[in-house]
């Protein structure tokens, strides 16, 4: 059985590499530090605003266990936000600072993993192995494609999942090597890596399940190719801890295909169109990894052209052929150049969840946070180990690459630290993205510049005249300036949104309108105006059958009725919301509205629906059952009092 000369317990890095590690970590912190002054963005707010309800330990558990992001709610990521604060509104700096620390810790984990893998592939050259590991860490930490993941607070979910995946794979790899000397200890490390690392990664974000496939890639393309033979009963162990979980997940996936398919009703593309489009996006990602630039990056890519067929656009066919070519390259190079095969397979595995059949947004940079590691590791490794007349040229090119990514990351981080500048730059660099224009408008509005706000909202409306949110937002901006929409203009707005196409910012736009009506900043548009707009959207065929998104319209309607103290209609709106998305809190609040007006039977019926909905959410049962039981006890007392004979 093959074994390594540098086991886990030996010194990880020599004096010089350790000093280089420290210098790199300090450099990365210094380059990123201007970005820590930035603001919260987009999905940060819905992820964090639940903290405003946290007043005790029970509230904290509720916040952690009732997340709506992903199938599991990502409780570990939500819990991590309490490192920074336990209330809302809060200060972005502390959240971004923790994200940067996680980025550094993940870089250290990747350096450690790289060193172990190098020791398998490149025995008896320890100084070179340490240099490759440190340089790989540096290139990954400094790469500008990771800036949006690190400085976008909500992407802590991707960061934590990556960190625990890396630590789990490190434990697995160490365990596999250790089995050459101590089988029991080795298996203990392997099991801990997959079970503990995988569980923590998955509870941070569902991508953590991919640790199983990453482990197989390391097993077959690095360890075995490097002469580390499998220990006795490895197949039995793998059947229990790798293949069985994979089988369960794939079976669940097949069972959920109809539900996954239905999720595309809320998207402007089908499953097959998404798959074809992602083939093009994959090469876009690869381009940014290999040729890093700041311009054109960021979080707004909603304008990406959807592939309607293999020839529409024709680059779709070329991209699909390219993916097949990469797959063949990995297969054919697996013996002679296993690390090349490893880099390709690692990249493919990383994109299996978010770039395939699930009805997610098309393009996000954070999907490459872990994906780029295999490519960067292989690049650094081959630059220093392949003997060629061009070796010095490749090493010089790598140095230039390192300087380029450091300068680009410094520029990007400085922009991220200036909310007004980054919003304006994104709007200018993504002129076809209506969301980037809306984002710029919201930032300029925060600074009180109505002229700029209107300018960007008009650009958003011009980019896609069929979406509803820009005209709604323009109406609010006019209202904030004291401008009144006459009856003709208002009816024109109603007619426009009645025929508009669905977009995700509509509910937030209506909430913003209602919020400014409550605080008396918007007085020329009344809550009844907002109600009329909501009803027009509810009647719009493109806003129907969207599940959660349709339910949001009825939730806004309920808030309007509550503000108007019409609790019967507020309850009825929540019942409609519940029909589109069976959330326990919708039915519980409906029950309370019915109780306000003394409709005890209706309140009891809504409570029953709340209890039934709670049964299907395992994470919520222990917490919400207490609230439900308390409310049920109150209703029973009121019903008993109501049924007592009157004297």
Which tops the pLDDT comparison, 494 or 610?
A: 494
Assess whether pLDDT exceeds 60 at residue 175.
yes
Supply φ then ψ for residue 604, to 5 degrees.
-65, -40
Supply φ then ψ for residue 309, to 5 degrees.
-160, 175
Q: Which residue ranges make up each domain of the chain?
A: 15-40+91-415
Average pLDDT over residues 485-494: 86
**Cα–Cα distance, 499 to 502 (Å, whole number):** 10
Please list, in sequence order, all residues whose beta carbon lies within 8 angstroms of the beta carbon of residue 180, skipping any fewer than 6 positions away.
1, 2, 3, 4, 186, 228, 231
Q: Encoding tokens for residue 58?
A: 């029970």
Going by pLDDT thresholds of 50, 70 and 90, the confidence category of residue 5 is very low
The contacts found for 546-550 with CB under 8 angstroms, 24 or more apart, are 546/265, 546/266, 546/502, 546/580, 547/262, 547/263, 547/265, 547/266, 547/580, 547/581, 548/580, 548/581, 549/266, 549/502, 549/504, 549/507, 550/580, 550/581
230-239, 255-264, 463-472, range with greatest mean pLDDT: 230-239
Going by pLDDT thresholds of 50, 70 and 90, the confidence category of residue 8 is very low
Rg, the chain, Cα only: 27
Assessment of whether the complete model's pTM goes beyond 0.85:
yes
**With contact defined as beta carbons under 8 Å apart, do 67 and 74 qualify?**
yes
Q: Which of 69-73, 254-258, 426-430 has the lowest mean pLDDT?
A: 69-73
Assess whether pLDDT exceeds 90 at residue 348.
yes
Give the model's pLDDT for residue 615.
59
Nearest in space to 211 (alpha carbons), one of 40, 362, 353: 353
**With contact defined as beta carbons under 8 Å apart, do 570 and 558 qualify?**
yes
Please list, in sequence order, all residues whose beta carbon lies within 8 angstroms of the beta carbon of residue 228, skipping any fewer than 6 positions away.
1, 2, 3, 4, 120, 176, 177, 180
Cα distances (angstroms) measured from residue 246 to each of 201, 331, 344, 345, 460? 15, 22, 21, 17, 44
Work out the angle between the directed axes of helices 618-643 and 584-596 (0-180°, nearest 10): 20
Our measurement of the distance from residue 348's CA atom to the centroid of its chain's CA atoms, rounded to an integer in Å, reads 18
Please list, in sequence order, all residues whose beta carbon lies within 8 angstroms of the beta carbon of residue 241, skipping any fewer than 6 positions away.
190, 191, 194, 195
The 3-state secondary structure of 370-425, one letter per residue? CHHHHHHHHHHHHHHHCCCCCHHHHHHHHHHHHHHHHHHHHHHHHHHCCHHHHHHH
**With contact defined as beta carbons under 8 Å apart, do 198 and 209 qualify?**
yes
Q: How many CB atoms lie within 10 A of CB 548?
A: 15
Q: Is 467 helix (H, G, I), strand (E, B) or coil?
A: strand
Adjacent-strand bridge partners of 467: 501
**With contact defined as beta carbons under 8 Å apart, do 194 and 172 qualify?**
yes
Q: How many CB atoms lie within 10 A of CB 495?
A: 11
pLDDT, tens digit (0-9, with 9 covering 90-100), for 404-461:
999 999 999 999 999 999 999 999 999 999 999 999 999 999 888 999 999 999 999 9
Nearest in space to 175 (alpha carbons), one of 122, 239, 128, 218: 218
Going by pLDDT thresholds of 50, 70 and 90, the confidence category of residue 486 is confident
Q: Encoding tokens for residue 19?
A: 């000093």
Average pLDDT over residues 74-95: 92
Give the model's pLDDT for residue 625.
65
Please list, in sequence order, all residues whose beta carbon lies within 8 angstroms of the beta carbon of residue 536, skipping any fewer than 6 positions away.
494, 497, 498
Going by pLDDT thresholds of 50, 70 and 90, the confidence category of residue 1 is very low
pLDDT, tens digit (0-9, with 9 covering 90-100), for 132-164:
999 999 999 999 999 999 999 999 999 999 999
Assess whether pLDDT exceeds 90 at residue 362.
yes
Cα distances (angstroms) measured from residue 579 to each of 416, 572, 602? 41, 11, 16
Q: Encoding tokens for residue 15?
A: 């004096």
Nearest in space to 586 (alpha carbons), one of 569, 572, 602: 572
Assess whether pLDDT exceeds 90 at residue 251.
yes
Compute the mean pLDDT over every residue in the chain, rounded to the nearest whole number: 89
Q: Encoding tokens for residue 598?
A: 């003394």
């Amino acid at each position: 059985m093959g074994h390594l000369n540098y086991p886990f317990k030996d010194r990880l890095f020599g004096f010089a590499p350790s000093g280089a590690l420290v210098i790199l970590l300090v450099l990365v912190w210094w380059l990123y530090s201007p970005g820590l002054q930035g603001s919260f963005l987009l999905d940060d707010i819905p992820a964090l605003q639940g903290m405003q309800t946290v007043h005790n330990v029970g509230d904290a558990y509720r916040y952690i266990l009732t997340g709506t992001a992903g199938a599991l709610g990502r409780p570990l990521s939500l819990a991590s936000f309490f490192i920074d604060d336990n209330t809302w509104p809060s200060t972005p700096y502390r959240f971004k600072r923790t994200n940067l620390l996680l980025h550094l810790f993940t870089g250290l984990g990747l350096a450690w993993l790289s060193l172990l893998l190098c020791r398998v592939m490149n025995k008896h050259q320890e100084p070179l192995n340490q240099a490759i590991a440190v340089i790989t860490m540096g290139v990954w930490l400094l790469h500008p494609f990771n800036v949006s993941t690190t400085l976008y607070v909500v992407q802590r979910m991707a960061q934590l999942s990556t960190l625990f995946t890396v630590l789990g794979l490190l434990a697995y790899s160490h365990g596999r090597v250790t089995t050459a000397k101590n089988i029991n200890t080795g298996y203990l490390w392997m099991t801990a890596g997959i079970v503990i690392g995988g569980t923590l990664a998955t509870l941070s974000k569902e991508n953590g399940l991919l640790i199983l496939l990453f482990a197989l890639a390391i097993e077959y393309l690095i360890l075995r190719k490097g002469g580390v033979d499998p220990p006795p009963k490895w197949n039995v162990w793998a059947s229990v801890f790798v293949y069985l979980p994979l089988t369960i997940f794939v079976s669940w996936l097949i069972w959920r295909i109809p539900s996954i398919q239905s999720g595309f009703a809320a998207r402007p593309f089908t499953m097959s169109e998404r798959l074809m489009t992602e083939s093009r996006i994959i090469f876009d990602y690869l381009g940014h990894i290999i040729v890093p630039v700041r311009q054109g990056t960021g979080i707004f890519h909603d304008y990406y052209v959807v592939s309607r067929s293999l020839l529409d656009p024709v680059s779709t066919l070329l991209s699909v052929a390219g993916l097949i070519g990469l797959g063949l390259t990995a297969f054919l190079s697996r013996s002679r150049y296993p690390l090349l095969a490893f880099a390709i397979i690692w990249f493919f595995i990383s994109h299996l969840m978010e770039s395939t059949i699930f009805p997610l947004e098309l393009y996000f940079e954070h999907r490459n946070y872990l994906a780029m590691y295999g490519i960067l590791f292989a690049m650094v490794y081959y630059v220093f180990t392949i003997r060629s007349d061009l070796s010095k040229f490749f090493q010089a090119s790598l140095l230039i690459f390192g300087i380029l990514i450091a300068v680009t990351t410094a520029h990007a981080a400085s922009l991220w630290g200036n909310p007004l500048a980054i919003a304006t730059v994104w709007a200018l660099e993504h002129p076809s993205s209506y969301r980037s224009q809306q984002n710029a408008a919201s930032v300029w509005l925060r600074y009180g510049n109505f002229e700029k706000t209107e300018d960007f909202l008009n650009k958003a409306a011009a980019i896609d005249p069929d979406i509803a949110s820009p005209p709604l937002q323009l109406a609010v901006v006019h209202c904030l300036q004291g401008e009144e929409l006459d009856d003709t203009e208002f009816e024109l707005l109603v007619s426009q949104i009645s025929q508009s196409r669905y977009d995700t910012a509509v509910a937030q736009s209506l909430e913003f309108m209602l919020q400014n009506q409550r605080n008396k900043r918007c007085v020329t548009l009344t809550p009844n105006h907002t109600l009329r707009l909501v009803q027009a959207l509810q009647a719009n065929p493109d806003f129907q059958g969207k599940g959660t998104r349709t339910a949001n319209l009825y939730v806004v309607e309920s808030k309007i009725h509550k503000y108007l103290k019409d609790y019967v209609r507020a309850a009825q709106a929540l019942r409609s919301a519940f029909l589109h998305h069976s959330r326990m809190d919708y039915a519980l609040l409906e029950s309370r509205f019915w109780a306000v007006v003394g409709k005890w039977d209706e309140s009891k019926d809504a409570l029953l629906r709340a209890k039934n909905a709670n049964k299907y959410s395992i994470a919520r049962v222990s917490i919400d059952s207490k609230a439900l039981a308390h409310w049920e006890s109150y209703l029973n007392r009121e019903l008993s009092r109501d049924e007592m004979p009157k004297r």
